[in-house]
Structure formats: C-alpha cells, structure tokens
Structure 1
C-alpha cells in the first residue's frame, strides 16, 4: 500500500469473517477454508488466518480506485464462499456471531495467538468480533500523527457506515455495532488520544509493553493507528461490512479524510478522549439511521446529516480521487435503506429468529 498514483493516496482493505455451519453456529473450519481458497486469490489479494479457527481474513492489494477495491473484495468473498460451500460451511460477514454459542471456538494453532489466549484469558477467547480495517498511505509517521489528531472527531461517523452487529447471541443487543462494545474490552482498544508528537505515541506504546497490556506492537488496537507493517494509517473502527460496497464506502471516506487532513496546516481539534469515547458509544448504539454526535458541535444530529457534512468536508479530495459520486450514492443509500445492522434488525423482527439473520448475511447461500 506504499505506491501512489499522482497526488491520489493509495489504500487497502482488510475484512474479517466468521465461518459457520449450515445452522449458523461457529465452525472450526476457518483454517481449512482459508487454505483451500488461497490458490484462487493470487490475482486479487491475500487470505490470512485469524485468532480463532472460526474466522477467516481477506486483505486487498494496493488499490487506487474504488472500482479496483470493489473487484478485489467481491473476488475474495466469492473465493472464500466457494471454498466454504465445498466443506459444507458458510462465510458470514457479521461483526458479532448472531447465534448463541455454548463454547468459545478454538484458538488457531499459532504461537502468537496461543500466547495471546494464555495471557489475556477470557478477553481473547470470548471477544468474538470481525472488523473492517482500512489502510491509507501516508508520507511518513510524523505526518500520520498529525493526521490522527485531525481525523479523531470523525471516528464516530465512520463507525456508523459499516455498523453490522445488532443481533448477537440470539437476541437484539440494542446496539448497531455490538462488536465495538465487545472489542473495547481489550486494554489497548478505543479512540487514540491527541498526540503531541510521534515520541508521545511511542512512549504510550512502550508503557503498554512494559505493563504487559500488549504483548507486541501488533496489539496496538486504537481505532486509528500507525500501521506496523506498512507506511499507512490504519482505521480499525469499523465492523466488517455486510456488503463490499459498504466496505469500500468506508475506505473512500477514510482516504478522503486523510487527504483533507494532510492539506490542513491548522491545529487539531481539542477533543478530550473521555468525550470521544462517549461519542463512539453513542454511534455504536445508533448506527447509520440513528443519531451521531457532530464532530464540530458535539450535539446529536441525524447520522445522515453528520455523514453529509463529512462528504462536504472531503469533497475536493473525493473528487480528485474519482470517489465523489460513489460516496454520495453510498451515503444516500445508507440514509434511505439503512446499513447492515438495520437489515439484521428487520430480518430478526419478522420471526424473532437469529437464524434468519444468518441466512440474510451468509455469503453464497
């Protein structure tokens, strides 16, 4: 994700999925599905194992256009779904398991994952979540620190775009992104503070390592962070999206925000982390069709209004990247029809059956 085309920032998308049996319960076949599908995705991304054996991950290559990203996500979802069907299981783009599970899934037999499970106990074994991570190229880490300060207030709005975990454990959680609540149990998760410098960022990470609240730098779980493997800024705030289109909408909005922030020489907003954390709670509860704290006033506004203001702020960057019409259409559709959480809730309400939500979401069913 390091290459750039002209002045347009490149980006990439990572999606995590559950692998479930025909009834919708978590399966232990995630590793097998990934291994079987790997040969088919050489031309459009990379497949990876995840923390539990009930998960699979797909990562796009470097993308320059939203159309390229859409093709890659659709292709990887198709390949994973086909591999899952051949094994009698299904791929589920849900950010939290819809059905109640008697036992947590097994940890993937990987030394790092096994160490995490031993060190963090039930947090690792029961935080069953799937996210959507967006990488956006940045010139250097110092620039990334400045961008983090400017994009922090927009994290609640970004969270609403892919909120997709309303039904979990067999019931309506009352949240559009229940994943965000579950994920927040990790000691390094949540919104990042406004860093004064790269040195301050590194001092916090060093303190975490010395305290044992993270085991390595891969466990820096802030909602937006400096990537440890790529020269990118990584947005980690979103649920895995119900559709590739919603995942790419999140990505182009994140890219637009980064490009806009890089061009801004002013000071970052003075937003206390305690306030931002509360705003993210509200966004996780209400999603795309509810209310969201506005990053400028802090007052509750319809999420569609906040997303409209985000669109207006980033319009020059979106237009320069060829994303403006795509972003307008996506936000209009979210406002009119709702997102993944709204579709989950409507499906569940018909018969009070979480299995209907599984059928709604399951790829290739």
Structure 2
C-alpha cells in the first residue's frame, strides 16, 4: 500500500465558541515535532493551528496518529484558555488576525483582502508516489473526481454568523487565492514545473508555497497532495477519506490510457456544485458530465477505485456510507443549529465530536 500523511487545520475558539487569536500562546506550549512524530505549527491566522501526521501505511495507524494529534493540539490550546474545533469555517463572527512573520506580511501586502478574510480550515492528504513522472500521471487522471471529495468532506455551512446556503463555503473562500482551483493536464513533469515557475514569475505568488492547486506535487515530500476537503469533524471520517484518496491515486497510477479531457470550466462548475449542496443534492458525474443524485456519483467513485481499496474496502465504504446517511459535518452543524438556534452550541458540539 502507498504511504499516507495527513495535515489538518483547526480553529481556536474561546468559551463562547468565538475564534480567538491565541496561536502564539498555543505554539509556545506545543510547537514543533513531538516524540510521536506529530508536528504542531502555526497557520496564516492566529485563530488556527495545523497538525501534520507521521507517514502511515495503514488506516489503523492513521487513525491513531490523528487522535493523538488532536489531543496534542487540544492540550496546547488549553494552555492558552482555548479549545480546538475541526470546522472548515467559524460559525460565529470573528475578525481574522494575521500571524506574525515577514512571509505572512508579504502575503497580506500582495493579495490584500484575500489574506485578511481567510479564516478557513482544510485537510490535505499526501499519498506517496515513485517520482514526479508518476505524480504528474496521477494528477492528470484524478482531476474529474476531486469535486466528489469536496462533497464528502463538506463541513463549512456558516460564515461570519450566517448560514451561507453552501455545504462547503470554505471551498469558495479558498478559491480567492490567485493560484487555487483545478488544473489542465500537464502531461510531463517538465510541463508541471515549467507551469509552476511561470506562475511564480508573474509576481502574483511569492513562491512555490503559494501554488494552491486542488492537487499538486508536494514541494517537501515525494507525494501527491490532495487539498480539496474541509477538515472533517470525526477522525474516522478523515481516515475513510484518506483511504479513498489513496485508492484514487493508486487507480490513476495504474491507468494506461490518456486522461479525461474535461475542461477547467467544467471542473470549476463541478467543484461549485459539490460545495453548494454537498451530499444533499445533485453532483455532476465525471462519466457523462450530467447531474445525478450525490449518492449515485459517490458510488461511481467507489466503483472506480474498488480494486485499489484492497484491505481498506470495508472501512472506506463504511465511512462513506456514514457520511451519506447524514453524519457529514455540514448537515450535522445545520441540525444542531436547527435544534438550538445557537451557533455557540454548534461550536460546543463540534468540539466534542472533534475530540471524541
């Protein structure tokens, strides 16, 4: 099985559920790589932190790492009088506070309001590849399936105290970055790196770290990095999605024919549709580019990767079935809100699930 790694971003919230700008205090308590190999780091805004797991080969390992990472982040947050919560956006209003540092300041100067307004939390899944050639081969073939992952991971229906009408509003906010979104097929590693150099050369990006493609070659690891999902409420759902991404990468690596020629314009619509209704409405099928019920399109993805799921099949299918049954983050947040009318209660309940 290919190696796996996951990065998760968490909101830091106060006792009333509001975002609090205490990441420097949190990191004073727990920054860096621990003896367990889990890394705790800062992010763009002071109201969030990020964890990175060690490399895993089994989903059991990944589940253990993610639970340990959430505990470590929570313990550090408590030292600053805060809690962590695995939500793609904050239900309660808050003014983002940029983290200190020259690079972050340069980003703010470059992209202005886009940086000031970004307070979103995603999950990035890294899957090992042999080299850049295999990585580009994979990137070119997973493109049409990434919107299905957006729907499965949707966990951000609220923004600045309002119900947005979207299941993953984070997806729309994140696409304000100049390099974010889907890509055309690259064909070769040379073409991929030439494109990245050209993007940086425009001056619209500071460096390759600001290449925010939906999926990209990692600049630090020999991996393909899939970046489309909101951070998920439940560890087990994060594990199932990681296993699904790994199977998608393996399936793509084994494909010998040309990649689908789906145009970027269609990929953007497919991503928007997934962000809009998540698992409650139609998604656009990568097979015929027509709308179909979300469950049917998710089943298309599961069938597409079935051979590559191997020993992960039951766990991945079980996690996906749980999401389809209404336990995805977006619908659970809305259910809690409908029941209480209190966004602070939504955050409190989300924190409890984050740490379960």
TM-score range, shorter chain: over 0.9
Alpha-carbon distance between aligned partners in 2 of 1:80 and 1:338, rounded to the nearest angstrom: 24
- 1:302-346 Cα deviation digits (max 9, x unpaired): 222222221122121111xx2111011111111112300000111
Instruction: Assess if the C-alpha contact under 8 Å between 1:94 and 1:242 holds in 2.
Output: yes
Alpha-carbon distance between aligned partners in 1 of 2:109 and 2:35, rounded to the nearest angstrom: 34
- 1:133-155 Cα deviation digits (max 9, x unpaired): 00001111111111111100001
Instruction: Assess if the C-alpha contact under 8 Å between 1:31 and 1:56 holds in 2.
Output: no
Alpha-carbon distance between aligned partners in 2 of 1:213 and 1:89, rounded to the nearest angstrom: 35
| Match 1:192 to one of 176, 183, 195 | 183
| Match 2:135 to one of 132, 144, 149 | 144
Q: How big is the alpha-carbon RMSD for the aligned residues of Structure 1 and Structure 2?
A: 1.6
Question: What is aligned with 1:5?
Answer: none
Instruction: Assess if the C-alpha contact under 8 Å between 2:157 and 2:333 holds in 1.
Output: yes
Superposed displacement of residue 296, structure 1: 0.7
Instruction: Assess if the C-alpha contact under 8 Å between 1:289 and 1:334 holds in 2.
Output: no
Structure 1 residue matching 2:50: 3-state secondary structure: strand
Alpha-carbon distance between aligned partners in 2 of 1:329 and 1:351, rounded to the nearest angstrom: 29
- 1:65-99 Cα deviation digits (max 9, x unpaired): 01100011011101211222233211111111111
Tell me whether 1:356 sits opposite 2:345 in the alignment: yes
| Match 1:27 to one of 16, 20, 24 | 20
Structure 2 residue matching 1:235: 3-state secondary structure: strand
| Match 2:254 to one of 249, 258, 263 | 263
Structure 1 residue matching 2:292: 3-state secondary structure: strand
Alpha-carbon distance between aligned partners in 2 of 1:31 and 1:67, rounded to the nearest angstrom: 32
Question: What is aligned with 2:89?
Answer: 96
Structure 1 residue matching 2:334: 3-state secondary structure: helix
Instruction: Assess if the C-alpha contact under 8 Å between 2:142 and 2:249 holds in 1.
Output: yes
Superposed displacement of residue 207, structure 1: 2.1
Question: What is aligned with 1:342?
Answer: 331
Question: What is aligned with 2:73?
Answer: 80
Superposed displacement of residue 288, structure 1: 2.4
Aligned counterparts, 1:234-253, within 5 A: 234-253=225-244
TM-score, length of structure 1 as denominator length: 0.93
Alpha-carbon distance between aligned partners in 2 of 1:69 and 1:169, rounded to the nearest angstrom: 32
Superposed displacement of residue 352, structure 1: 2.8
Superposed displacement of residue 50, structure 1: 0.7
Tell me whether 1:51 sits opposite 2:44 in the alignment: yes
Instruction: Assess if the C-alpha contact under 8 Å between 1:163 and 1:239 holds in 2.
Output: yes
Instruction: Assess if the C-alpha contact under 8 Å between 2:237 and 2:320 holds in 1.
Output: no
Alpha-carbon distance between aligned partners in 2 of 1:261 and 1:39, rounded to the nearest angstrom: 34
Structure 2 residue matching 1:225: 3-state secondary structure: strand
Stretches of structure 2 lacking an aligned partner (at least 5 in a row): none
Aligned counterparts, 1:178-217, within 5 A: 178-217=169-208
Stretches of structure 1 lacking an aligned partner (at least 5 in a row): 1-7
